Amino acid sequence: MSPVLESTARALLRRIAVEQAESRLPSLAAAVVREGRIAWFGSRGRVEGAAPTESTQYRIGSITKSMVAVVVMRLRDEGGVDLLDPIGKHVPGTPVNEVTVAQLLSHTAGLTAEPPGQWWERTPGMPVEQLIGLLGPETSRHRPGRRFHYSNLGFALLGELIARHRGVSWERAVQAEVLEPLGMRETTTRPRAPHATGYAVHPWADVLLPEPEHDALAMAPAGQFWSTTGDLARWAAFVAGDTAGVLDPATVAEMREPATVDDGDAWTGGFGLGLQLARAGGRRLAGHSGSMPGFLATVWADPSDRVGVLFMANSTSGVSRTLLTELLAILDEHEPRLPAEWEPVTADADLLELTGPWYWGPSAYALRLLPERGLALGPVGGAGRASRFVAQGDGTWLGLDGYYAGERLSLVRRADGSLSHLDLNTFVFTRTPYDPAAEVPGGVDEGGWRS
């Protein structure tokens, strides 16, 4: 992917320059990623007297959680862990043995947000055995599955789950199974030069206070990693679907599915399995934000057009929540994406036979042929249930999304082999509205249609 246009680069740079100046950030680095590569990088401020580069390290906080989640999903795909397993099956001895792995990944387990003891982000960490020993009845704040409640503690338990399955520390497992295969060699648990120093900016004066940095030990899976713009660009590409064999792309797509949302049908933010989700400017974004004393970072990816955007700053607070979505809006304004060129595909006669109008009772639907032998069923000219389907080995079709996700579509043929109707999990679709020749549950009035 070529770099952005000069006019686009200027507009992007101006946006982060305004952010750095008005939010009083010691330094800020940002990037736009297209098709797996950095299409634009910009920075403002200074790190050790020089402008940040693509290799300058910043602490990325809770973005660490998404990388931990990938190893959990690898364990699931291998058969060692089921997402419905209670955590007590893998990490026994806690007062929350009944919450599931999926609930921990999606922050719906109802656990307390923070561990017991002192403020863990600003004090030296404790071993996991000590942490588990401190957990009591107050560890549960809500009934499991009832609501979204962000929990750093939950990811400490998931890190221990990884360690017990792999026989090595969580960070070694993530390094070997995620970071190295993705080429993220500059992502580490402790800082290496050149790296930014974390600062708090005084609310009423332009002065700085250095923030502490330490090994969080048991809580490290919740926010220990440091990374660079170059590495986070590769991570954005991974979230968008360029998985390099680390996970099946279908598993990453599963991680991006909403497990919980903020506001029902019109949700603008939510959570999948280890990934934050957002809707903005017509895009569905997946990624994660991160904050630790002295640092802020966020990475978003849009798998629909393989675009990503990220920033890192060395300030405890101050970065606008809309910075990245505004960078995406600039990209869309200056370089709107072109639709993929249409081209014909090879279609078997048996598939062409299925296409065209079908009727669920009086409701008109259209069945369309998709590339690679897929089918799409959707309402004609109005709202209704729509799903895509993929062929199965037994001659049926499996729903991929929408109302019919996971449901079976069967082709019902007459004795002479001609197609009679579609049976979609007991719903009958016929070539004419309420075809009297087809088996329609409840029957068809003998008088037929009338005025």
Overall pTM surpassing 0.85 (yes/no): yes
Rg for the chain (alpha carbons), in Å? 26
Q: Strand pairing partners for 28? A: 44, 313
Q: 223, 84, 221, 64: which is closest to 155 by C-alpha?
A: 221
Same domain, 109 and 145: yes
Contact 27, 48 (CB under 8 A): no
- Token pair 């982000």 in the structure block, residue: 121
- Give the tens place of pLDDT for each residue, 275-333: 999 999 889 999 999 999 999 999 999 999 999 999 999 999 999 999 999 999 999 99
Task: For residue 442, tell me if it sits in a domain.
Answer: no
pLDDT band at 25; cut points 50, 70, 90: very high
Task: For residue 249, tell me if it sits in a domain.
Answer: yes
Residue 397's domain is classified under what CATH number? 2.40.128
Q: d(Cα 129, Cα 126) in Å, to the nearest integer?
A: 8
Task: For residue 270, tell me if it sits in a domain.
Answer: yes
Q: d(Cα 296, Cα 4) in Å, to the nearest integer?
A: 25
- Give the tens place of pLDDT for each residue, 368-417: 999 877 999 999 987 789 999 999 999 999 999 889 999 999 999 999 98
Instruction: Give the count of domains, the chain.
Output: 2
Mark which of 271, 305, 334 sits at the end of a domain: 334
Task: Say if residue 265's pLDDT is above 70.
Answer: no
Q: Taking the CB of residue 51, how many other CB atoms lie within 10 A of it? A: 13
- Give the tens place of pLDDT for each residue, 326-366: 999 999 999 998 888 998 888 888 889 999 999 998 999 99
Question: Which residues span the domain enclosing 327?
Answer: 6-334
Residue 147's domain is classified under what CATH number? 3.40.710.10
